[in-house]
């Protein structure tokens, strides 16, 4: 019969390897976030709206301002979109 502690250690090793792979995927070798950032034009295309509407949305979506440029993280945009999700038999008023 297998030792249950060996099984647990084996599973923990696999779990640790998956976490390490996910971290390496998100960050480069210098620890910099490799997440995709969108300009106003790309954000408007991603959200399928006008650029002036993106400037209005910046009140509700986290953003970064560098000089005169405005940037949005893709994950923040997805989070914004999913915040408006409704389930079956629910209406949005």
Residues 13-70: pLDDT tens digits? 998 998 888 777 766 666 656 678 999 999 999 999 999 999 999 899 999 999 999 9
Task: Say yes or no: 81 and 39 in one domain.
Answer: yes
Which runs of consecutive H residues, i.e. helices, occur in the chain? 4-26, 40-47, 51-57, 74-82
Q: What pLDDT shows up at residue 32?
A: 58
Give the separation between CA 7 and CA 12, rounded to whole angstroms. 9
Q: Which domain holds residue 69?
A: 35-85
Q: What pLDDT shows up at residue 45?
A: 95
| Closest of 50, 43, 25 to residue 81, by C-alpha | 43
User: In the structure, what pLDDT confidence band is assigned to residue 1 with cuts at 50, 70 and 90?
Assistant: low
Count of domains in the chain? 2
Task: Say yes or no: 81 and 51 in one domain.
Answer: yes
Task: Say yes or no: 11 and 40 in one domain.
Answer: no
Q: What pLDDT shows up at residue 91?
A: 55
Q: What pLDDT shows up at residue 28?
A: 63
CA geometry: angle 73, 80, 32, nearest 5 deg: 20
Q: Is residue 93 part of a domain?
A: no
Residue 59's CATH number: 1.10.10
* pTM exceeds 0.85 for this model: no
Cβ pair 75, 35 in contact under 8 A: yes
Task: Say yes or no: 43 and 77 in one domain.
Answer: yes
């Amino acid at each position: 019969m297998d030792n249950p502690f060996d099984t647990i250690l084996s599973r923990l090793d696999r779990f640790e390897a998956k976490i390490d792979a996910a971290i390496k995927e998100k960050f480069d070798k210098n620890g910099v976030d490799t997440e995709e950032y969108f300009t106003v034009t790309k954000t408007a295309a991603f959200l399928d709206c006008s650029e002036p509407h993106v400037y209005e949305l910046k009140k509700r979506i986290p953003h970064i301002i560098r000089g005169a440029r405005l940037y949005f993280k893709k994950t923040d945009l997805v989070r914004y979109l999913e915040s408006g999700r409704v389930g079956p038999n629910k209406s949005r008023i």
